[in-house]
């Protein structure tokens, strides 16, 4: 758990709600087509060098009305101060990342991981977060069946906590190139099987375009997955990729994001699209310009759907 430090903050500062609309419209005349309403959020992992106050201020300055929280920043800032800051800013919280490590491969025991997860869920409820992202922990020396049992036991214990807090737990599978450090779930099917075995309405799926864009028959499967989705995490893939921290802003890479977004939206997805660009390159950029460019390019990838008048 991150060391908590006191940061200077003027508590008299009050941030007003973002002044740009959440609905992104194409400007088409009625009876033609329009870009549907979506919820775009900026995750604190994208702006890694900023602290929480800067993350909130950046979203406010750019009219981004939702934020994804990175827990180390919250803990560094202080949870109670973070609650006050987020309430003053009137930002929607798309997600809190992350809880998990239930297999013990991150150096913490199962009960310690459960305690930490409950603390995160409690905080997420206080700031009105939609989801808390869950990473199981890697398989390590466990058999696959034992790793699954540990994850299922954790999710079943925590699901009622999530229900009480009014948040969803979003279980995240990862591309095999990255999963060894984070999770033993390496495909959509593996994660969906865990959701089915957990059998709780608060346990859902975190769909990361970067990790899952190569899943077989993805576009045709997405509409049926929509009811299971807690959050969609967005970034693009460089080809060839150079490292584990080499994601791109949406639209700069090879992922068919426009098709993925259209399939999700036509399938009825109404949750957040959370910008998560892990990149040694972009972490060194001007973050206001980075977020502005990412938001604009995200908008350009959204589908133009027939209006109700049509």
HEC string for the chain: CCCCCCCCCCCCCCCCCCCCCCECCCCCCCCCEECCECEEEEECCCCCCCCHHHHHHHHHHHCCCEEEEEHHHHHHHCHHHHHHHHHHHCCEEEEEEEEECCCCCCCCCHHHHHHHHHHHHHHHHHCCCCEEEEECECCCCCCHHHHHHHHHHHHHHHHHHHHHHCCEEEECCCCHHHHCCCECCCCHHHHHHHHHHHCCCCEEEEEEHHHHCCCCCHHHHHHHHHHHEEEEEECEECCCCCCCCEEECCCCCCCCHHHHHHHHHHCCCCCEEEECCCECCHHHCCHHHHHHHHHHHHHHCCCCEECCCC
Band of the pLDDT at 308, cuts 50, 70, 90? low
Q: Does 179 or 22 have the greater pLDDT score?
A: 179
Q: Read off the pLDDT band of 20 (50, 70, 90).
A: very low
128 occurs within a structural domain = yes
Is 130 within a domain?
yes
Q: Please say if the pLDDT value at position 138 is more than 80.
A: yes
| CATH for 258 | 3.20.20.150
Q: pTM of the predicted model, to two decimals?
A: 0.88
Per the domain annotation, does 210 fall within a domain?
A: yes
21 belongs to a structural domain: no
| Between residues 177 and 117, the one the model is more confident about | 117
On whether residue 116 sits in a domain, the answer given is yes
Is 14 part of any domain? no
Number of domains forming the structure of the chain? 1
Q: Give the mean model confidence (pLDDT) for residues 150-160.
A: 98
Is residue 15 domain-resident? no
Residue 34 has pLDDT above 80, yes or no: no
Can you give the pLDDT at residue 31? Answer: 55
Per-residue pLDDT at 33 = 67
Q: Is residue 138 part of a domain?
A: yes
Residue scoring higher pLDDT (21 or 105): 105
pLDDT tens by residue, 206-247: 999 999 999 999 999 999 999 999 999 999 999 999 998 999
Q: Is pLDDT of 19 > 50? A: no
Give me the domain span that covers residue 71: 34-300
- Look at 2 and 104; give whichever has higher pLDDT: 104
The listed range with the strongest mean pLDDT (19-33, 64-78, 105-119) is 64-78
pLDDT > 50? residue 14: no
Q: Is the pLDDT at 11 greater than 70, yes or no?
A: no
Residue 277 pLDDT: 98
């Amino acid at each position: 758990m991150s060391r908590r430090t006191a940061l200077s903050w003027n508590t008299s500062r009050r941030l007003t709600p973002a002044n740009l609309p959440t609905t992104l419209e194409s400007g088409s005349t009625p009876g033609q087509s329009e870009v549907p309403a979506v919820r775009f959020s900026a995750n604190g992992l994208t702006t890694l060098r900023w602290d929480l106050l800067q993350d909130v201020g950046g979203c406010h300055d750019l009219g981004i009305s939702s934020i994804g929280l990175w827990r180390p920043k919250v803990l560094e800032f202080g949870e109670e101060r973070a609650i006050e800051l987020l309430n003053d800013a009137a930002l929607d919280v798309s997600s809190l990342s992350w809880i998990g490590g239930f297999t013990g491969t991150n150096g913490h025991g199962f009960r310690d991981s459960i305690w930490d997860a409950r603390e995160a869920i409690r905080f997420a409820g206080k700031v009105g977060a939609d989801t808390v992202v869950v990473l199981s922990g890697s398989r390590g020396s466990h058999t696959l069946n034992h790793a699954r049992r540990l994850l299922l036991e954790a999710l079943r214990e925590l699901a009622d906590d999530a229900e009480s807090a009014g948040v969803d737990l979003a279980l995240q599978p990862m591309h095999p190139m990255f999963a060894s450090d984070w999770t033993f779930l390496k495909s959509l099917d593996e994660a969906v099987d865990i959701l089915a075995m957990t059998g709780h309405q608060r346990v859902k799926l975190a769909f990361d375009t970067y990790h899952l864009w190569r899943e077989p028959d993805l576009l045709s499967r997405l509409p049926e997955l929509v009811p299971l989705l807690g959050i969609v995490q967005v970034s693009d893939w460089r080809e060839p990729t150079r490292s584990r921290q080499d994601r791109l802003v949406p639209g700069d890479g090879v992922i068919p994001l426009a098709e993925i977004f259209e399939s999700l939206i036509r399938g009825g997805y109404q949750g957040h699209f959370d910008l998560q660009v892990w990149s040694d390159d972009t972490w060194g950029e001007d973050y206001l310009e980075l977020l502005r460019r990412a938001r604009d390019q995200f908008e350009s990838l959204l589908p133009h759907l027939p209006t109700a008048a049509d």
